[in-house]
Amino acid sequence: MTKPHDRRDFLMKLGIGAGVAGLAAQAGASLRSLVPNVSYDAPTTVKLGTPAEFPDGLKFLPDQRLFVFREGNTFHAISAACTHLGCTVRAEALPRPETRTVGGQTLRLTHRFLCPCHGSKYGGDGANVAGPAPRPLAWYELSISADDGQLVVDLAREVDRDFRLTLA
């Protein structure tokens, strides 16, 4: 037969156990609430518009800080973010366009780039040629969106300077 004293002990232990389990569950829920379910990182691929919206030559896209170049059916994109401290470089048209071999491919250079912050200068292919900029301007991968045919840039995917997107 159970003594009343044993029963009280048992019920007290049961109560403490339930309390501890409840606290553990609540702590787990609180910690989980600190971890977001969604990523707030900006997407790295951005639709830029249909190829028809890009005239031959250069188009600057301020939101992406990107220069998109078109020569006929061939496109490439160069970052406008200075590699020194990240100011936005501006494009200056060359008095006479030049054709050069860049990364083993022919490239028609129509502009050069100047940084207004500390005077870095870049060639038309993005190569750093003067000032404190330590590296060339980045080139980014371009592609065509399968669903609506828009030009897409992937700002997380740098490519070599021989990259070209040629449309059929």
| The residue to which tokens 């160069």 are assigned | 78
Does residue 132 belong to the site contacting ligand FES (CB under 6 A)? yes
Which residue from 124, 128, 125, 156 is spatially nearest to 140, judged by alpha carbons? 156
Cα 27 from chain centroid (whole Å):
36
Considering only CA atoms, give the Rg of the chain.
Answer: 29
Q: Name the minimum Å distance from CB 158 to ligand FES.
A: 18
Q: How many residues bind ligand FES (CB under 6 A)?
A: 12
**What is the DSSP pairing of strand 45-49 with strand 151-158?**
antiparallel
Residue 87 near ligand FES by CB under 6 A: yes
Query: Would you give the distance in Å from CA 81 to the centre of its chain?
Result: 12
Q: How far is the CB of 53 from ligand FES (least distance, A)?
A: 29
Q: Are 153 and 67 in contact (CB under 8 A)?
A: no
Q: Does the protein bind ligand FES through residue 84 (CB under 6 A)?
A: yes
Using the contact rule CB under 6 A, the part of the chain among 17-25, 42-50, 59-67, 116-124 near ligand FES is 116-124
d(CA 83, CA 13): 65
CA angle 156, 105, 96 (to 5 degrees): 100
Q: How far apart are CA 129 and CA 123, in angstroms?
A: 7
**Residue from 85, 129, 130, 156 binding ligand FES (CB under 6 A):** 85
Question: Binder to ligand FES among 48, 107, 120, 151 (CB under 6 A)?
Answer: 120
- If binding is defined by CB under 6 A, does position 129 make contact with ligand FES? no
Nearer to ligand FES, 133 or 142 (CB): 133
Nearest-approach distance from CB 163 to ligand FES, in angstroms: 24
Query: By C-beta, is 51 or 131 nearer to ligand FES?
Result: 131
User: Where does this chain bind ligand FES (CB under 6 A)?
Assistant: 82, 84-85, 87, 115, 117-120, 131-133
